[in-house]
């Protein structure tokens, strides 16, 4: 079937939230996130996200099935851990539109959907007209981590091609439970930014 991409805002986001929760748990379980997610956490997190003014969900559908989702919302609507590094560096966080997750089933990768996820979120941020930058972050894992697959390749070249620049020294720390672990541990999250 052909893939369709739709941008959802306001009340229209609600219908995509169950698929987003399911995809976050499934996709982030893989390297490099190794996220041992729970539906209870996802429901709370996504309920807060859906109430953010200016938020967007970009959904990729294969027929009727949502196979990928990307999100975005004003940086001021995200956890303080994400905004603080920007504040310390002198950025006006009220002018940054933050891209949250971008999750896509492995079976649908390599078809340009990742680019569309960025295109649609950037277009949404421009339409809101109050933002000067878009930003996102990715977890940093050691190269010698025992669970790193030999076939893994970093997404840095993809992000650079999209016009994003790594913000050296602007790193947040966030905790979650890795698969196979009993407790949450803190991970560094490296930020990338692009002017609109």
Determine the pLDDT at residue 109: 93
| Residue 55: CATH number of its domain | 3.40.630.30
pLDDT in tens, 18-66: 999 999 999 999 999 999 999 888 988 888 888 899 999 999 999 999 9
Model confidence, pTM: 0.93
Please count the structural domains in the chain: 1
Above 70 in pLDDT, residue 1?
no
Percent of the chain with pLDDT over 70: 99
Round to whole Å and give the CA distance between 8 and 14: 9
CB 72 within 8 A of CB 55: yes
Partner residues linked to 35 by β-bridges:
178
Domain ranges, residue 119 = 3-195
CB 103 within 8 A of CB 27: yes
Percent of the chain with pLDDT over 90: 84
């Amino acid at each position: 079937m052909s893939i369709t991409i739709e941008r959802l805002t306001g009340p229209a986001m609600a219908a995509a939230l169950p698929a987003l929760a399911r995809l976050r748990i499934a996709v982030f379980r893989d390297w490099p996130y190794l996220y041992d997610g729970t539906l209870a956490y996802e429901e709370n997190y996504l309920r807060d996200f859906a109430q953010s003014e200016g938020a967007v969900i970009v959904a990729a559908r294969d027929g009727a099935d949502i196979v990928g989702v990307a999100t975005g919302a004003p940086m001021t609507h995200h956890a303080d851990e994400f905004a603080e590094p920007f504040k310390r560096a002198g950025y006006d966080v009220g002018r940054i539109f933050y891209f949250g997750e971008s999750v896509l089933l492995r079976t649908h990768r390599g078809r340009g959907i990742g680019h569309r996820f960025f295109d649609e979120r950037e277009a949404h941020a421009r339409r809101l007209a109050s933002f000067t930058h878009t930003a996102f972050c990715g977890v940093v894992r050691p190269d010698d981590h025992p669970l790193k697959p030999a076939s893994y390749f970093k997404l840095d070249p993809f992000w650079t091609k999209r016009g994003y620049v790594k913000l050296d020294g602007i790193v947040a720390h966030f905790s979650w439970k890795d698969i196979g672990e009993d407790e949450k541990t803190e991970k560094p999250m490296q930020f990338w930014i692009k002017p609109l």
